[in-house]
Amino acid sequence: MKFSTVKVNGLNVFYRESGDSNKPTFLLLHGFPTASHMFRNLMPLLENDFHVIAPDFIGFGQSDAPVHTEFKYTFANLTNYVDGFLDAMKIDKFYMYVFDYGAPIGFNLAVKYPDRILGIVSQNGNIYQEGLGSKWEGRKSYWANPTEELRESYKSAFKPETIIGQYTGGEKAGSVSPDGYTLDIHYTESPDYAERQSDLIFDYQSNVANYPKYQRYVRDYQPEIIAAWGKNDPSFVYQGAQAFTKDDKNAEVHLLDGGHFVLETHYQEIGQLILNKWA
């Protein structure tokens, strides 16, 4: 495993990388509130068959995190930096694994570069209205009427107990290692964290608005998709996984007994799904 940074538009993007760069690339795109460390158990399972690479988005993990008044924390802009990362690393065609926030970023890339996508793993990475859990109704009200009071109320998403709940909810008691959520909680202590993440919560509406565009890509290009979903996830419910099959004859759905961070407990199973399909 290699750990390094590369400059993209003047900012340092941290990444972890393993495997032979002459083999097909697997790009791993993390979600909220985590970073590339969420793939620490999966990458060793894939490195013999793929060139595996996982960047931290700007504002997350070990990548640079400019203050929100000096950087536009939108999903379009985060996509621009992942796009620049791919250019800097000279990565052309690739498989991609998308989770949570990584889904709109990954599908933004797929819409822009459909011929570069070799296959997709969507793990609780939603692009359908059917996949939005009940919690999103409140967020829609916030997007329609973005008061400062509501912005403050959504900062509860960054509290330690909320982050722990994201990892452990829907999982068997004692099955989730504290390593991942402990590191994520540490990252919330960085300066300006709550403000830049609040900007992204507000901008998530742009992803929902883009769902028809993402679905059109899936219908038109019929990519091979593994929808590996924690069926107990309250944020992105399992109907979001099943929805892929209505648009894509090459989509397969695997509902796993876990929650939002199902990769924590099912990385071996997900890794085997990938190897069985593409190795």
Using the predicted structure, report yes or no on whether residue 37 has a pLDDT greater than 90: yes
How many other C-beta atoms can be found within 10 angstroms of the C-beta atom of residue 22? 6
**Residue pLDDT, tens place only, 219-260:** 999 999 999 999 999 999 999 999 999 999 999 999 999 999
Alpha-carbon span 268 to 272, nearest angstrom? 6
pLDDT at position 44 is: 98
Of 270, 248, 257, 240, whose CA–CA distance to 100 is shortest?
Answer: 240
pLDDT at position 182 is: 98
pLDDT at position 134 is: 87
Residues identified as active-site: 260
pLDDT at position 266 is: 98
How many other C-beta atoms can be found within 10 angstroms of the C-beta atom of residue 60? 26
Does the pTM surpass 0.85? The reply is yes
pLDDT at position 135 is: 85
Give 101: exposed, middle or buried? Use CB within 10 Å, 0-12, 13-18, 19+.
buried
Q: How far is CA 19 from CA 23, 49, 85, 121, 273, in A?
A: 8, 7, 18, 19, 18
**Residue pLDDT, tens place only, 46-65:** 999 999 999 999 999 999 99
Q: Determine the average pLDDT of the residues in 127-150.
A: 94
The pLDDT confidence band at residue 133, using thresholds 50, 70 and 90, is confident
**Residue pLDDT, tens place only, 163-214:** 999 999 999 999 999 999 999 999 999 999 999 999 999 999 999 999 999 9
Alpha-carbon span 76 to 83, nearest angstrom? 10
Using the predicted structure, report yes or no on whether residue 70 has a pLDDT greater than 90: yes
**Residue pLDDT, tens place only, 109-123:** 999 999 999 999 999
pLDDT at position 106 is: 98
Q: Cα 269 to the chain's mean position, in Å?
A: 19
Alpha-carbon span 189 to 158, nearest angstrom? 10
Looking at every residue in the chain, the average pLDDT score rounds to 97
